[in-house]
Amino acid sequence: MKMNHRIQVSEIPQLGKAIRDERKARHLTQTQLADIAGVSLNFVSQLESGKPRVQLDKVLAVMGALGLELQIVFASSLSKETKS
């Protein structure tokens, strides 16, 4: 039932918004997502509100629970792409 797809973000607040949007699209509460991902409700709340201090392993657990993939692009790669 999980469907993996990619989201592209450049900042933590964008990641939080993308996760919130996906959670709502799946009609899940923050509590349900926290249970599925094995993280606390407080963590999901902080992540969705764009708090900069989040633990990557927990972010990946939440994303995995939603079937999302994380692709890391370094800023120097983005600079090269925009100059081309």
Q: 81 vs 39, which has greater pLDDT?
A: 39
Question: Model-level pTM?
Answer: 0.67
Q: What is the pLDDT of residues 11-59, one digit of tens each?
A: 667 888 888 999 999 999 999 999 999 999 999 999 999 876 777 888 8
Please report how the helices 56-65 and 12-25 are oriented relative to each other, as an axis angle in degrees rounded to 10. 30
Q: At 10, is the pLDDT very low, low, confident or very high (cuts 50, 70, 90)?
A: low
